[in-house]
Amino acid sequence: MISLVGNSPAAIKGEADVFKELDETYITATARLSTWLETPGSGILLKRSDFFTSGGNDLGDLVRYDPTINAPFSYASGDGTFGYGQTGYSGFNIRGSEGNRILMLVDGIRQPEAFVSTSFAQDEGSQGGAGRDYYDPAMFETTEILKGSASALYGSDALGGVVAFRTPNPDDFLKKNHPNYGGLLREQYFGVNESFATQGFLALRQNDWRFLLGYAGRDGVETTNNGKLKPNPQTLHSDNYLLKINWQPSNIDKLAFTFENFSRNRFVNAISANGFATPFNKEILNWEEQHRNRYSLRWIHKSANNAWFDEINTHAYYQDTSNESRNHSESVFGRIRDQSISFNTSIYGIQNQLKKRVGRHDLTYGTDFSESQSENHFQRTDNGLPFDRNRTTFAPTKSTRLGLFIQSQYQSSDTSTWTWTMGLRADYFALQPDVSGDYLARINTINAGRNNIMPAEDIANLTFSPRLAASYKISDTNTAYLEYSYGVRNPTAEEISMVFDHPPSAASPVGTITLPNPDLKEERNHNIELGYKNQSAHNRFSCAVYYNRYSNLIENGVITGNTAPDGRDILTTLNSGTAEIYGYELTASWQLEKLTSRMKGLEFGVTTGRSWGVNREKNTWLNSIDPWKSSAWIGYTSTDDSLGTRLTAIYVDAVKHVDDSSGGPFFRPPSYFTLDLSAYWKITENLTLQAGVINLLDEQYWTWGSSRRGGGHITNSAAITDRTTAPGTHGFISASYQF
């Protein structure tokens, strides 16, 4: 794995006492604890302390310095009629794969899919729908991101990678000198959105019982930009609560209960609509609410003489999420529209993971069952149109997943320089849309009464996902690896039954209707990666090259060439063809005291990466690929860890490889260079201050991951203005008290 933060000065003395610093270990890639040097594949491990020290505020800040990962963000559109196009972070983009091709987990629980059916372009690269931001990242103890297909362990949706969040446990706060209690209080201020953030954690231990209470909350306004056109005014409030109760009567048994509640409220006044020549050019007001609740129970049992396992980990859970947008639009001519759009997903499941040492094999195997229910409601009142009670955009759908997996890590002897990792997962996947009267009526309405359209149908699918990795230990400090993995992604509930209609507009002069396609197949990916790692007491180096070949890619909003009776184009969802994504990554860091003792405490590092993506079916570039990005840093940590600072430079190349045939012409962001400065000071044993300045040079720039999502009823190039620039110079400060 490639870690951008493992050697950072963020391991603050004191904070390291609270968050017990272990050797840097990874678990997502192999489902077993392993060191960075021993783990085949690429990814990052971000600890809570690193996130805070670098001024982390939201999901995007988790991957700010990684060259091949970003978090696309939907801001309020420059298109005044598209008021619900500011849904925040849609998820993560890993090496050009994004949206529902990336699996997101919180404590092992699958997170809800992104929805796109209410967006104008109906694809993962456009605004609208509902993103996947149901989190306060201050609640995560670690964030581990695995790059490349991981379906052999995690099944469908891990086609392009995995983002695994872990919330803290009581033992993360219980210190050796106070084994029965511990905690943390932190207050933060971020100038980028004038927000205040508060976190509080309290851990208690009583005999065999351990308790943890946690809270993270935020209040702020709109994220600033760096242009003459001010961003749309916004207010935001969120709360995140966490309760964990662990019972551990011995070293061989542990029972853990978790409850978590997250809620966010956001109001946006889309002043970008003012003066806009559209049906709604007076005002657009938008209210958004996101909620997530989860309950889980985990049992871990170890056995020294069981024939089937040395350890069994059973995890049962239930999670419910909702995302609602309420929108009020008016024109200067008296037209008024109110609409409410909601997406809801509930899931329950049970996972069983067993570990067993058999001869020279370290086996990991088990089962993974879940059942989820997804539904959408879309109501509109408009004094220029008939009342629309339920503009259902897809059928309420039950999704069932059952996975059986096995993985073996094998060495022929204790002295062997080769380690083989072999894995296979079989997945049964079924979708059962509820073809209700409302859904059939919706199809009948938008299809002008014709009955030749097949509604959504049940689908069932069985897939197999193999993985093979070989690691060669060149020496105690050098390893090389070669990995092949096969990934799959089954269609979502929305993709299998999507219906939508849109009247004529500038972007579509005749208007469009979207109808379901019951014949969708799963997407596939062949992933190959070759890498090298070196680690010693004073330096770390890694490099990797990778190649992905995707097939059966699912594309929404494809023009079929057919038209409805009223002349509108008929769109649908199709398996559109094949694509290739390939590239490289390189990361290195050095502790400069190796050169001379006068440089004790100084560290220098650099990371760079580049991906290329081609749609082989259309012979065009893939717009999901970010341009070349590099970052370099120099940091200092005092001998007693009471003081530290870091200066980080980021360079991103101009966007050059663009496909304008779908949603274009696109605005092409120029290259940019930024500097970030952060520092910490441990004032007392319990009190630490952290502060920094982001974009020290006040560079004006646009990020490709966000700017390509602009548009709607107008072209992307017209929608991107200096209102959509990234923030200019801004700072942060925080105070942490530990006990």
Mean pLDDT, range 425-444, rounded to an integer: 86
> Does the pLDDT at position 454 exceed 70?
no
pLDDT beyond 60 at 127: no
User: What is the pLDDT, as a whole number, of residue 484?
Assistant: 97
Predicted pLDDT at 450? 60
Cβ contacts of 712 within 8 Å, gap of 6 or more: 77, 79, 81, 82, 85, 120, 121, 126, 127, 128, 507, 719
Neighbour count for residue 326 (Cβ, 10 Å): 17
* pLDDT at 6 > cutoff 60: no
HSE (side-chain half, CA atoms, 13 Å) at 385: 14
Which of 57-66, 121-130, 310-319 is the least confident region?
Answer: 121-130
Beta strands in 515-642 (DSSP E): 523-535, 539-551, 554-563, 569-575, 579-591, 602-615, 620-621, 629-637
Query: Which residues are paired to 604 by β-bridges?
Result: 590, 634
Does the structure show a pLDDT above 80 at 601?
A: yes
Q: Are the beta carbons of 169 and 183 closer than 8 angstroms? A: no
Give the pLDDT confidence of 619-666 residue by residue, as tens digits: 999 999 999 999 999 999 999 999 999 999 999 999 999 998 877 789
pLDDT in the model for residue 321 = 97
Judge contact between 258 and 244, C-beta under 8 A: yes
What percent of the chain stands above pLDDT 70? 90
Give the pLDDT confidence score for residue 274 in this predicted structure. 66
Task: Give me the CATH topology for the region 15-738.
Answer: Maltoporin; Chain A (2.40.170)
| pLDDT computed for residue 566 by the predictor | 74
Q: What confidence tier does 19 reach under pLDDT thresholds 50, 70, 90?
A: very low
Q: What is the mean pLDDT of residues 201-228?
A: 95
Asked if 303 and 311 touch (Cβ cutoff 8 Å), the reply is yes
What is the distance between the terminal CA atoms of the chain, rounded to a whole angstrom?
A: 33
662/222: higher pLDDT = 222
Residue 7 has pLDDT above 80, yes or no: no
For residues 64 and 92, give the distance between their C-alpha atoms in angstroms, rounded to a whole number: 12
Q: What is the structure's pLDDT at 442?
A: 78
d(CA 724, CA 702): 7
φ, ψ dihedrals at 17, nearest 5°: -70, -40
Give the C-alpha separation, 591 to 608, whole Å: 19
* pLDDT at residue 671, rounded to an integer: 98
Cβ atoms of 93 and 623 closer than 8 Å:
no
Rg of the Cα atoms in the chain: 26
**HSE-CB of 166 using CA atoms within 13 angstroms:** 16
Q: Is the pLDDT of residue 316 over 90?
A: yes
Task: Write the CA distances from 462 to 202, 304, 580, integer angstroms.
Answer: 45, 36, 25
* Residue 70 pLDDT level (bands cut at 50, 70, 90): very high
pLDDT at 388 over 90: no
**Cβ atoms 85, 77 nearer than 8 A:** yes
Q: Between β-strands 142-147 and 209-221, what pairing exists: parallel, antiparallel or unpaired?
A: unpaired
Asked whether residue 3 carries a pLDDT value surpassing 50, the answer given is no
Token output for 510 = 């005749």
Write the pLDDT tens digit of every residue in 710-723: 766 667 777 777 88
What DSSP designation does 15 have?
H
pLDDT above 80 (res 79): no
Question: How many Å separate Cα 656 from the centre of its chain?
Answer: 25
pLDDT digits (tens, 9 = 90+) for 81-110: 555 555 678 889 999 999 899 999 999 999
Question: Is the pLDDT assigned to residue 17 strictly greater than 50?
Answer: no
Write the pLDDT tens digit of every residue in 478-487: 999 999 999 9
**226 Cβ contact list (under 8 Å, min separation 6):** 695, 698, 699, 700, 701, 722, 725, 726, 727, 728
Q: Say whether 444 sits in a helix, a strand or coil.
A: helix
Mean pLDDT, residues 696-701 taken together: 97
Query: Is the per-residue pLDDT at 674 higher than 90?
Result: yes
> Global pTM?
0.92
The average confidence (pLDDT) of the chain is: 88
User: For residue 30, which of 304, 311, 405 has the smallest C-alpha distance?
Assistant: 405
With residue 48 as reference, give the H or E element that holds it: helix 48-53
User: Do 135 and 522 touch, CB atoms closer than 8 A?
Assistant: no
